[in-house]
Amino acid sequence: MASAATVKVAPRRKRFLALIPFFFAVQQALEGIQWLSVKTGNACLSAGYSYLVFALIVWPIFIPGAVYYLDRRGRRVSRWFLALGIGVALWLGVFLIGQLSIGVAHGNIFYHAAIPAGFVVAVLYVVAVCGALLTSHIRTLQWFGALALLSAGGAFLWFRTGFPSVWCFFAALISALVFWYARSR
């Protein structure tokens, strides 16, 4: 509902960014399917891979790309975050194709794929996504970046096993800020 409203109220220039709540809605629906099929074999893996395409490949490219597109004053900086996001997404995409296991632990869905240098890649992911937002000249995007960084830290500290799932949930809630930005002139 909020995702459709965001796209509807967004002026033409902001529609790219206005897709963020919509994409999060799709991603969270995929994780809902994941919860329903967590031990059912192929349906579970299909939902898991679909969810992880958003989480690991779409976001590290889309977020810095949206900042690059919107923040003309900050393009010199945001292009570096976009390049980093593309590199991270390619790295994760290559290793996502391999063995994936999905389960439930401590009330969270966890995804396990054999990703070399996983912690370093996770840090680079957060730098690409949150760094692009934090260095933007657009105040709402800076707030979005600060809240995303805080929620990443909280998800890592308190929900380490389900970090991607929990952080994406928090980020989906935070994406409501995009509605106010898209609505503003």
- Is the confidence at residue 45, as pLDDT, over 60? yes
Count of domains forming the chain: 1
| Crossing angle of the two packed helices 176-183 and 15-36, in degrees rounded to 10 | 160
Write down the mean pLDDT value for the chain: 82
State the pLDDT at residue 87: 97
Two structure tokens written together for 12? 């033409």
Place 65 in a pLDDT band, splitting at 50, 70 and 90.
Answer: very high
| Cβ atoms of 132 and 63 closer than 8 Å | yes
Q: What is the predicted pLDDT for the residue at 184?
A: 64
Percent pLDDT > 90 in the chain is 26
* Structural domain boundaries enclosing 163: 2-183
For residue 124, pLDDT over 60 is answered with yes
Give the mean pLDDT of 157-163: 76
> CA 133 → CA 17, 32, 34, 168, distances in Å?
12, 28, 29, 16
User: Band of the pLDDT at 43, cuts 50, 70, 90?
Assistant: low
DSSP state of 99: -
- Binning pLDDT at 50, 70 and 90, where does residue 152 land? confident
Residue 132: which pLDDT band, with cuts at 50, 70 and 90? very high
pLDDT value at residue 84: 97
